[in-house]
């Protein structure tokens, strides 16, 4: 009868010593980044939260007033509601126009024609150009007497308005400039999405007898939905923060017709000396953008196709 073998005890491995030197070297490398984030992001965020609860003017010691700034903004400030309406009007005009034109340009730039790289560069250039220079050029373009736009309209018998001085036309004029200046970036994103769609899908659709519109509807649009979803979020955030064009071209006029939320925030902070009030405005804007972005993330399951 064979004797049962006695199992040998498994040796217990001693925990490795932490190589503190390697860890220290890692912290040394990432230290400047962490300090930069703390100094230029985390500390300003904390100061902004505290300032929104005070009547700080940026110079004198702040006095804590609690939620009074938020209450005044929502219940008492008529300019706050006016700028919210103006901003929503701008967003409602900017995003659809930008998305439609960007998609049309992406489809055009996706074609195989001679010199297409030149067109792509030309369409994208305004997105990386200086917003002040663009605003100044368009400011003279919109001049009622000597402006290029009204000059072109006069050749076909139309008396153009005073674009930037007319309450009815000032905001549409600003929207046109913002779309012209910002359409290049979404065009590039959509162009990349188009070039990622396999040609075999279009070939299969052609064999099934589908028309060009049907291929666009059933193949192109579904496979572009991830790019469209990304652009809807980024365009919504950027359009809520429009400032440079307003500051240079209209200064919020005429009669506050183009005074958007960020411009009013700037006025409160640097023109009226109400840093605490402006900080409260900033956090209300952050909450609104975060809420809409969260809703977009939740709704993406219904229409975004990642196949």
Mean pLDDT of 14-39: 78
The domain ranges of the chain are 77-302
Cα 154 vs. chain centroid, distance in angstroms?
36
77-302: which CATH architecture? Orthogonal Bundle (1.10)
Mean pLDDT of 251-267: 95
Q: Is the pLDDT of residue 24 over 90?
A: no
Output the pLDDT for position 21: 66
Q: Is the pLDDT of residue 18 over 60?
A: no
Reported confidence tier of residue 5, pLDDT bands at 50, 70, 90: low
**Residues contacting 218, CB < 8 A, separation 6+:** 205, 210
Q: Tens digits of per-residue pLDDT, 41-91? A: 999 999 999 999 999 998 899 999 999 999 999 999 999 999 999 999 999
The residue ranking higher by pLDDT, 131 or 11, is 131
Reported confidence tier of residue 213, pLDDT bands at 50, 70, 90: very high
CB 155 within 8 A of CB 124: no
Q: Is the pLDDT of residue 302 over 70?
A: yes
Q: What percent of the chain has pLDDT over 70?
A: 93
Output the pLDDT for position 8: 64
CB 248 within 8 A of CB 136: yes
Q: Report the alpha-carbon distance of residue 304 to residue 233 in Å, rounded.
A: 13
Mean pLDDT of 149-159: 91
Q: What is the mean pLDDT of the chain?
A: 91
Q: Tens digits of per-residue pLDDT, 90-140? A: 999 999 999 999 999 999 999 888 888 898 999 999 999 999 999 999 999
How many Å is the Cα radius of gyration of the chain?
A: 28
């Amino acid at each position: 009868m064979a004797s049962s073998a006695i199992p040998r005890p498994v040796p217990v491995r001693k925990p490795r010593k932490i190589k503190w030197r390697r860890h220290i070297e890692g912290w040394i490398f990432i230290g400047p980044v962490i300090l930069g984030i703390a100094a230029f992001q985390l500390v300003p965020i904390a100061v902004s939260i505290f300032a929104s609860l005070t009547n700080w003017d940026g110079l004198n010691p702040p006095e804590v007033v609690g939620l009074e700034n938020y209450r005044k903004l929502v219940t008492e400030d008529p300019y706050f509601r006016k700028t919210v309406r103006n901003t929503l009007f701008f967003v409602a005009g900017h995003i659809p126009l930008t998305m439609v034109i960007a998609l049309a340009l992406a489809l055009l730039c996706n074609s195989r024609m001679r010199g297409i790289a030149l067109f792509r560069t030309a369409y994208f250039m305004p997105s990386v150009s200086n917003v002040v220079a663009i605003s100044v050029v368009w400011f003279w373009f919109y001049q009622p007497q000597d402006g290029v736009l009204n000059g072109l309209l006069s050749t076909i018998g139309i008396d153009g308005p005073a674009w930037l001085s007319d309450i009815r036309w000032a905001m549409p004029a600003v929207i046109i400039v913002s779309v012209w200046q910002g359409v290049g970036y979404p065009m590039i994103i959509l162009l990349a999405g188009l070039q990622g769609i396999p040609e075999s899908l279009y070939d299969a659709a052609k064999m099934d007898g589908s028309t060009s519109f049907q291929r666009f509807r059933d193949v192109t649009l579904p496979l572009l939905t991830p790019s469209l979803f990304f652009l809807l979020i980024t365009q919504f955030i950027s359009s809520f923060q429009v400032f440079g064009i307003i500051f240079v071209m209209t200064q919020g006029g005429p009669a506050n017709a183009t005074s958007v939320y960020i411009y009013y925030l700037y006025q409160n902070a640097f023109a009226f000396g109400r840093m605490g009030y402006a900080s409260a405005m900033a956090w209300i804007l952050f909450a609104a953008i975060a809420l809409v972005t969260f809703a977009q993330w939740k709704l993406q399951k219904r229409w975004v196709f990642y196949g």
